[in-house]
Amino acid sequence: MLAFILRRLAQAVAVMLTVAFIAFLLFQHVGDPITNLLGQDATSEQRAQLRAELGLDAPAPVQFVHFVGNALRGEFGLSLRQGRKVSTLIAERLPATLELALTAALLALALGIPMGVLAALKRGTALSQLLMTVSLLGVSLPTFLIGILLILLFSVWLNWLPSFGRGEVVALGSWWSTGWLSVDGWKHLVLPAVTLAVFQLALILRLVRAEMLEVLRSDYIRFARARGLSDRAVHFGHALRNTLVPVITITGLQLGSLIAFAIITETVFQWPGMGLLFIQAVSFADVPVMAAYLCLVALIFVAINLVVDLLYFAVDPRLRVERGAAGT
Amino acid sequence: MDALRRFFDSELWADFRASPMALAAAAIAGACLFCALFAGWVAPHDPFDLATLELGDARLPPAWLEGGSAKYLLGTDDQGRDILSALMYGARISLAVGLASVLLSMALGVALGLVSGFIGGRTDALIMRVCDVMLSFPAILVALLIDGVGRALFPDAHETLAFGVLILAIALPGWVPYARTVRGSTLVERQKEYVQAARVIGVAPSRIMRRHVLPNVMGPVLVLATIQVATAIITEATLSFLGVGVPPTSPSLGTLIRVGNDFLFSGEWWITIFPGAMLVLIALSVNLLGDWLRDALNPRLR
Amino acid sequence: MTSPLLEVRDLVVEFPRRRGGPLRALDGVSLEIGAGEILGVVGESGAGKSLTGAAVIGLLEPPGRIAAGEVRLAGERIDALPPAVLRRIRGRRIGAIFQDPLTSLNPLYTVGRQLVETIRAHLPLDAAQARDRAIALLRETGIPAPEARIDHYPHQFSGGMRQRVVIALALAAEPQLIIADEPTTALDVSVQAQVIGLLQRLSRQHGAAVLLITHDMGVIAEACDRVAVMYAGRVVEVGPVAAVIHAPSHPYTAGLMGAIPPMDGERERLQQIDGQMPRLDAIPSGCAFHPRCPRAFGRCRQERPELMEAGATQASCWLVQEAPSA
């Protein structure tokens, strides 16, 4: 098992280096790296000095090492658009995005799994048809449209919930701020979290249903029934447990993409997170921000992948227990 | 022609005719396609012809609401443009970009899958690695990146170039499922005796791949393509909504939604909702078709 | 026989179809098994052997259903019981063993957990007592060091061991009837003999009746007291094993026996029965076997024969009546 962890870590590092390389390429070749680091208002003296300091005359591999070193310290230069340090900008926005993504993830799981199980157990009934139709809508409606519809209904027509911003946030420690601890924070969080959760919920629902139907047809379920186990034991003790194993991995990976989908949600709701920052960077061709965002998101993804792999180990005994003495 | 006749004789066609959902979905998708293709003739107005716009007709609600007029069935926007016509022209752009991206993804993915499965060895391992890495990143992110890089590299891009970058941006994250499916089938076919015999005789591998492996693989590829068309259209709409999609001179449904969003709070909801409805209609009908196609082609459900 | 444990009378199993009438998969199957007896059910793939077992234990895959006939266990009808009651009978009074031991066990739970769960579902024992009983069961089915192995997962056992675990699970609640559907097919030949021996021993010791479904005549000859031959959803011959094998009355049975290569002596060609078993939607009129039968005559094409006394066995063949066994 140790070998497995080491191998996965090595893979993770390889992926991160690749991403760093792409970010490096962006930095060097898209726009002017000096401008990327100093901003557009630097004087020619500052530029010359930086050029010498950075050793931009040095061969590319050396520059890459420099870049990685800087990246590890979170140093990505200045934003072209705002002139402030990229690392500061991202740090300001990170809690907002993470909170939004986490809330949406919990919502999607808490609703998606039970609905999927229901759809599988009650296959062929009106309820299951309804659930499947809802899930189809969920994957066919683009996220931004869901956001707009929710705003239309709850903000414009009913005037129950606000439609932009984070509302009142409570500071935790020197860096983090949370909207979970205030009613106003929650009111602002509801619509964006639901918007973000819908697509994931629909996917989880379909996945759980498909997987459960497959499991319910398997031999061990048949044997369990033949042994006279109750429906509850068969469905929830055996079928559900076996269904959740592959669902965990796929869902874990999906949750990573929530961070990406947050870009859309943040735009619709003007949520002050990293996604909004990224979009502004893309339309402005603000390379340092783009590069930094890329590296950070890659890190989050790789971390999630690693955790999911470890979870698999914990959940499926076939992977972890050593082969016992086999006899006939 | 022969292939066409075989299709109409097949069980697939019989299944299709028997399934009301598939028929309805196909009808809706067909209608949208028709409007999009022939927008010039079908649309009641030309929303891009500045000469025909009357500012006095701006912000009219849909015809069935108070204040609406039958001349503009779904209302007008702040410049007096007919929403219904704008819908059709917008759908045309959305569909064009969506279909082009899928074709590109498909071509790329199928080619890479064939090569990977047939040649095997290190090429195969490399391609599969790339697939794995690409799969771990969400498509929208990759699309945004490519778009952003395109913008940075070509700041004053010509419209065609902008479209090209956009299509590439949507197509690039999408080739992986095709490659994997095709590779899987190729691996299976490669073991079969007729392929080995052909190789022994000296038939060129590209010919083997084209004539023998490809036809066997097209089924699942088509299912993938259908479902991906819906995804591509939604991705394009999302990018346009975010402001980094199609150039503003050729508004797609996503652009229309974005523009209309600004009028939500002043109560003119139709400017954004109707383009949205059109988008959903297209995505839903294509998704349903893809679902049906997948179930119909699945041998285990027979 | 005196008061059989299992009685199946004229069982009909149908599958409804979208077009045309329902498909008859079992068309009037009748069987009897006494306590402590092992009845083999043999036939080609698709003859309806597994379906018969599934119908008896009430595990027909929907939309299949029992359309007619009855199944009686110790005199009581069980085919028409409500699902909740039937569920209590499964495991407690009827046990089942399926073909592939690897897929019959849930890979995520230890063998012990699956055993204890089954035991406690039927018997009023607490966790510790159930665990003791589980260990005893494992020991009885010949698994070495059961106290240790009870906490192992299914993938840690070899194929033969796994099948023993499956048998232990089927026996957990001391059922009166065991349905074994191809229990040895997925195993090595050397292991097959051991599993058969185990089934026989347990049947004698616990007095359980066994319905042994297989397509392997060797297993039948080795393990069974009586055997029923099935063809196209019907029973064509039934009787004591020695009689059916050495003096079959039905031409199909004779054909099956003739197709087995003899250990002694030589034969130039193995006899084969021309043609194939008919599809369920194209079953011939009269006797289902008549198109392939070398001795078919007029009546065979028109009237369907029922099981009739034919020397030491019973066979559904008009030859028994019209032409005395030659």
Instruction: Determine, yes or no, domain membership for C182.
Output: yes
Give me the percent of chain C exceeding a pLDDT of 90.
13
CA dist., res. B286 & res. B238, Å (int): 17
Residue C325 scores a pLDDT above 50: no
DSSP label at residue B82: B
Highest mean predicted confidence (pLDDT) among A23-37, B147-161, B248-262: B248-262
Q: How far apart are the first and last CA of chain A?
A: 28
> What's the ipTM?
0.82
What pLDDT score was predicted for residue A324?
38
Q: Do A327 and C90 touch (CB under 8 A)?
A: no
Q: Say if CB C15 and CB C27 are below 8 A apart.
A: no
Instruction: Determine, yes or no, domain membership for C59.
Output: yes
CA dist., res. B234 & res. B98, Å (int): 8
Chain A CB contacts of B126 below 8 Å: none
Q: Which residues of C121-159 are buried (b: 16+ CB within 10 A; e: fewer)?
A: bbeeeeeeebbebbbebbbbbbbeebeebbebbbbbbbb
- Inter-residue long-range contacts of B117-120, CB under 8 Å, 24+ positions, other chains counted: B117/B182, B117/B183, B117/B184, B117/B185, B117/B186, B117/B187, B117/B190, B117/B213, B118/B186, B118/B190, B118/B205, B118/B208, B118/B209, B118/B213, B119/B205
What's the gap in Å between the CA of C121 and the closest CA on chain A? 6
- Find the domain containing B221 and state its range: 20-46+57-297
CA dist., res. B218 & res. B213, Å (int): 9
Instruction: Determine, yes or no, domain membership for C153.
Output: no
Q: What share of chain B is helix, strand, coil (3-state, %, to 5)?
A: 75, 0, 25
Q: Is C58 left (phi over 0), alpha (psi -120 to 50) or beta?
A: left
| Amino acid identity for residue C9 in this structure | R
What pLDDT score was predicted for residue A323?
40
Domain count, chain B: 1
Q: Do A142 and B234 touch (CB under 8 A)?
A: yes
Q: Do A327 and C153 touch (CB under 8 A)?
A: no
Q: Do C106 and A242 touch (CB under 8 A)?
A: yes
> DSSP labels for A69-132?
HHHHTT---B-TTT-SBHHHHHHHHHHHHHHHHHHHHHHHHHHHHHHHHHHHHTTTSHHHHHHH
Q: Does B255 contact chain A (CB < 8 Å)?
A: no
Highest mean predicted confidence (pLDDT) among A279-283, B44-48, C1-5: A279-283
What pLDDT score was predicted for residue B301?
47
Q: Which residues of B133-157 are buried (b: 16+ CB within 10 A; e: fewer)?
A: bbebbbbbbbbbbbbbbbbbeeeee
CA dist., res. C305 & res. B49, Å (int): 86
CA dist., res. C40 & res. C101, Å (int): 20
By C-alpha distance, the chain A residue nearest C88 is A228
Instruction: Determine, yes or no, domain membership for B272.
Output: yes
- Digit-coded pLDDT (tens) for B201-253: 877 777 777 777 777 777 778 888 888 888 899 889 988 888 888 887 888 88
Residues 278-297 of A with CB under 8 A from B: 278-279, 281-283, 285, 287, 290, 294, 297
> DSSP labels for C13-38?
EEE--SSSS-EEEEEEEEEEE-TT-E
Q: Does B288 contact chain A (CB < 8 Å)?
A: yes
The CATH number for C72's domain is 3.40.50.300
Of B257, B32, C198, C86, whose CA–CA distance to A228 is shortest? Answer: C86
- Digit-coded pLDDT (tens) for C270-280: 667 777 788 87
> For tokens 């108070």, what's the residue?
B66
Instruction: Determine, yes or no, domain membership for C98.
Output: no
Q: Say if CB A188 and CB A165 are below 8 A apart.
A: yes
What pLDDT score was predicted for residue B45?
74
Instruction: Determine, yes or no, domain membership for B14.
Output: no
Helix (H) or strand (E) holding B230: helix B214-241
Q: Say if CB A248 and CB C127 are below 8 A apart.
A: no
Mean pLDDT of the C249-265 span: 77
By C-alpha distance, the chain A residue nearest C158 is A326
A287: nearest CB among B147, B152, B267: B152
**Structure tokens of C152?**
């192992």
Instruction: Determine, yes or no, domain membership for C162.
Output: no
Q: Does A307 contact chain B (CB < 8 Å)?
A: no
Q: Please report, in tens digits, the pLDDT of each residue of chain A (328 residues total).
A: 677 778 888 888 888 888 888 887 777 776 666 666 666 666 777 777 776 666 566 667 777 777 777 777 777 777 777 777 788 888 888 888 888 898 998 999 899 999 999 988 888 788 888 888 888 888 888 888 899 888 888 888 888 888 888 777 777 776 677 777 778 778 888 889 999 999 889 988 988 988 898 888 888 898 998 888 888 888 888 988 888 888 877 777 777 788 888 889 998 888 888 888 888 887 777 778 888 888 888 888 888 888 887 887 777 777 765 443 333 3
What's the gap in Å between the CA of B197 and the closest CA on chain A? 38
What's the gap in Å between the CA of A120 and the closest CA on chain C? 15
Average pLDDT score, chain B? 80
What pLDDT score was predicted for residue C188?
82
Q: Where are the alpha helices (DSSP H) in A30-59?
A: 33-38, 44-54
Cα torsion B55, B58, B64, B65: sign: negative
Residue A178 forms beta bridges with which residues? A170
Q: pTM (2 decimals)?
A: 0.78
Q: Does A78 contact chain B (CB < 8 Å)?
A: no
Orientation of helix A60-72 relative to helix A2-29, angle to 10°: 110
**Structure tokens of B252?**
């797609």
**Structure tokens of C154?**
């299914």
C87: nearest CB among A228, A242, A328: A228
DSSP label at residue B179: H
- Find the domain containing C191 and state its range: 6-93+173-322
Instruction: Determine, yes or no, domain membership for C283.
Output: yes
Q: Do C90 and A224 touch (CB under 8 A)?
A: no
B280: nearest CB among A141, A260, A268: A141
What's the gap in Å between the CA of A215 and the closest CA on chain C? 10
Q: Which residues of B104-115 are buried (b: 16+ CB within 10 A; e: fewer)?
A: bbbebbbebbbb
Instruction: Determine, yes or no, domain membership for B9.
Output: no
CA dist., res. A268 & res. A264, Å (int): 6
The CATH number for B35's domain is 1.10.3720.10
Instruction: Determine, yes or no, domain membership for B15.
Output: no
Helices (H) and strands (E) in chain B, counts: 14, 0
Bond before C63 cis per omega within 30 degrees: yes
DSSP label at residue A152: I
CA dist., res. B271 & res. C280, Å (int): 61
Q: Where are the alpha helices (DSSP H) in chain C?
A: 49-57, 83-92, 101-104, 111-122, 127-140, 146-149, 159-171, 189-206, 217-223, 241-246, 251-258, 298-302, 319-322
- Digit-coded pLDDT (tens) for C89-129: 888 889 998 888 888 899 889 999 999 999 988 888 898 99
Q: Say if CB C94 and CB C57 are below 8 A apart.
A: yes
